[in-house]
Amino acid sequence: MNAQNGYDIEDLAVGQSASVSKTITDADIVLFSGVSTDTNAVHLNEEFAKTTMFGGRIAHGMLSAGLISAVLGNRLPGPGTIYMGQTLKFKAPVRPGDTVTATATVKEVVVEKKRAIIETVCTVAGKVVIEGEATMLCTSNKG
């Protein structure tokens, strides 16, 4: 691990995993709307959202996806790593009050390029809501 408690590329192994969880609140949705400027009524207006295929308000997909960034930047690989890319497939809605768990699992380690390919999954009560893959530029204990 590096000085900031992240994993250097040399410390990563296929199958290593880490997770973070967060319960999505109404405040999170409102704040995310403000920061992102995504004020789609399906996120903010219950009466409108009831008329949609979701039958009620849902959280922004990217709000839940932000938890992937949290697990990658804070836990695995951790501080000092840089996002190079991310794929996302949104599989199911997240609603206010849902607890989202973002899990990152090392899929491939390319030591010579300081890159790690990480499988990323978000779940709510065991159901996959987002799946994808991240490419990370990692720190190295060799400089």
Cα–Cα dist 102/66, whole Å: 9
| 3-class SS of residue 83 | strand
Residue 48 forms part of a structural domain: no
Percent of the chain surpassing pLDDT 70: 96
**Are 96 and 84 in contact, with CB atoms under 8 Å apart?**
no
Q: What is the CATH number of the domain that holds 108?
A: 3.10.129.10
Domain that holds residue 108: 9-24+59-137
Domain count, the chain: 1
pLDDT above 90: residue 5:
no
Chain centroid, CA 106 distance in Å: 14
What value does the mean pLDDT take over residues 99-110? 98
- Give the chain's radius of gyration (CA, Å): 17
> Could you tell me the pTM of the whole model?
0.93
Q: Is residue 89 part of a domain?
A: yes
Interval 45-72: pLDDT, tens: 999 999 999 999 999 999 999 999 999 9
Q: Which two tokens stand for residue 132?
A: 């994808």
Q: Cα–Cα distance between 77 and 52 in angstroms, integer?
A: 39
